[in-house]
Amino acid sequence: MTGRFFRSLFWGVLLASIIAWAYAGTVTAGYRETILVEDRMEGLQEEVISPGETTFLPSLAIPNRLRLHRIQLEPRFLRFPWVYQFPAGQLLGLDDSFAVQVEAHYEYSISADRIRVLFLSLPVADWSQLQPYLELRMRSFWAEKMRELAPNEAALAGLENDLNTYVRQDLRGDLNNYFRPEGIEFKRIYVERIYVPDAVRYNATLQAGQDLLNNRLERISIIDQARAKKQASQILNEVYLDRLEKMAMLLQKYPELRDYAAVDSLSDNVRVLVMPYEQYFRGQQQNVTAPPGNNRQAGTGEPPVEPFDFTTIEGNESVQSQEIPARDRSTFPGMQRSSQAAAPDGGFRDLTPP
């Protein structure tokens, strides 16, 4: 009894596996599509699943072994706006108003017999690259045709009529001949717009071409100068920020220099000695609030520090040496009781090294 049960279970599992394998390996193409089979080990297969056809692919049971490329054969549409600029217009940098333009919608179909050739022509093995490939081929086609219809700017006068006649009569046949190796056939062409620049306006613009070139070069020069100034400003800002960062590190290391650290160059010949705020203004405030007759700083008995006379910067050879005051009024600790602490007029001397 038990043996019969296990035999039945075995055959049931085997039958279910075969059915699942057959179901997973069966591929059916739609009535408007074709399927290409790509084996990751052997490459693109010769077999093509035609529209409405059902095929069994045993390798589909192996994960990531086969890749199916489905594509709709018809109807397919391509919108391609074509813009052609003559060489002189390209040199002058003219906009599209001086270019020949043809905007149209193209309805086409793909032959199932040539589908493999078309797929191998794509830059990447993916149908998403079909439209960029067709646009590239269309640009090549229109460039060749334009060289026949208008080899130079002199043909602008009657070019619009020639283009209208060509689009309505011969364009579809020429496109089918051009795309026949890829198996593409164009059914209909819906012209949206045909534009040809005015010949008189175009020729007048060409005659003023030197002025246009000069204006363009001037704009380019202005843009380059602005970019150079921007880069120079960025470099100066980086240097200044780096300097501030080093100064901050120095003040953190020597906090006693916080009130004496402000000596900066305004130019090559002008230097400023910055007076500590607390050293000078606190003395003035105490002098204002002190009782009449008392002009000494509280606690120290020192007079308030007076502002520095900037007219004495860089020294004055004509000023005669005066006697140094008896009381040392310098605020910099290292310059107290020094013969260089005070200027001849009683102010501070600029001791910045040259």
Residue-wise pLDDT tens digits, 194-246: 999 988 888 888 777 777 777 877 888 899 999 999 999 999 888 888 888 88
Full DSSP string of 214-246: HHHHHHHHHHHHHHHHHHHHHHHHHHHHHHHHH
d(C-alpha 198, C-alpha 153), whole Å: 11
* Beta carbons within 8 Å of 93's beta carbon, 6+ residues apart: 212, 216
Among the residue ranges 97-106, 152-161, 327-336, the one predicted with the least confidence is 327-336
Query: Which 3-state string (H, E, C) describes 259-287?
Result: CCCCEEECCCCCEEECCCHHHHHHHHHHH
At residue 227, φ and ψ (nearest 5 deg) are: -65, -40
> Which residue has better confidence, 265 or 159?
159
- Ordered by start, the domain boundaries in the chain are 10-72, 76-207, 209-253
> Which residue has better confidence, 67 or 338?
67
**What are the C-alpha distances in Å from 264 to residues 232, 271, 341?**
21, 6, 20
Q: Which pLDDT score is estimated for 349? A: 53
Q: Tokens 């100066």, residue?
A: 236
Q: Which pLDDT score is estimated for 18? A: 74
Would you identify the CATH topology of the domain 76-207? Tetrahydropterin Synthase; Chain A (3.30.479)
For CA atoms 186, 188, 193, 196, the dihedral sign is: positive
Q: Which pLDDT score is estimated for 281? A: 54
Does position 69 have pLDDT exceeding 80, yes or no?
yes
pTM exceeding the 0.75 threshold for the entire prediction = no
Instruction: Copy the structure tokens of residue 54.
Output: 């059902």
> Which residue has better confidence, 205 or 177?
177
d(C-alpha 162, C-alpha 180), whole Å: 25
pLDDT tier, 280 (very low <50, low <70, confident <90, very high otherwise): low
Q: Which pLDDT score is estimated for 275? A: 57
Q: At residue 222, what is the residue type? A: I
- Whether the bond into 75 is cis, omega within 30 of 0: yes
Q: Which pLDDT score is estimated for 101? A: 92
**What are the C-alpha distances in Å from 308 to residues 1, 140, 210, 262, 344?**
118, 80, 62, 14, 12
Residue-wise pLDDT tens digits, 245-274: 887 887 788 776 666 555 544 444 555 555
pLDDT tier, 329 (very low <50, low <70, confident <90, very high otherwise): very low
d(C-alpha 22, C-alpha 61), whole Å: 9
pLDDT tier, 177 (very low <50, low <70, confident <90, very high otherwise): very high
Q: What percent of the chain has pLDDT over 70?
A: 68
Q: How far is CA 216 from the centre of its chain?
A: 23
Q: Which pLDDT score is estimated for 282? A: 55
Residue-wise pLDDT tens digits, 18-54: 777 676 667 878 888 888 888 887 778 788 888 888 8
For CA atoms 292, 298, 302, 307, the dihedral sign is: negative
pLDDT tier, 333 (very low <50, low <70, confident <90, very high otherwise): very low
Does position 91 have pLDDT exceeding 80, yes or no?
no
> Which residue has better confidence, 317 or 80?
80
Instruction: Report the candidate in 290, 291, 272 with the shortest Cα–Cα distance to residue 352.
Output: 272
> Which residue has better confidence, 155 or 235?
235
Q: Which pLDDT score is estimated for 321? A: 44
> Which residue has better confidence, 299 or 143?
143
Instruction: Report the candidate in 309, 353, 351, 354 with the shortest Cα–Cα distance to residue 332.
Output: 351
Q: Do the beta carbons of residue 101 and residue 80 sit within 8 Å? A: no
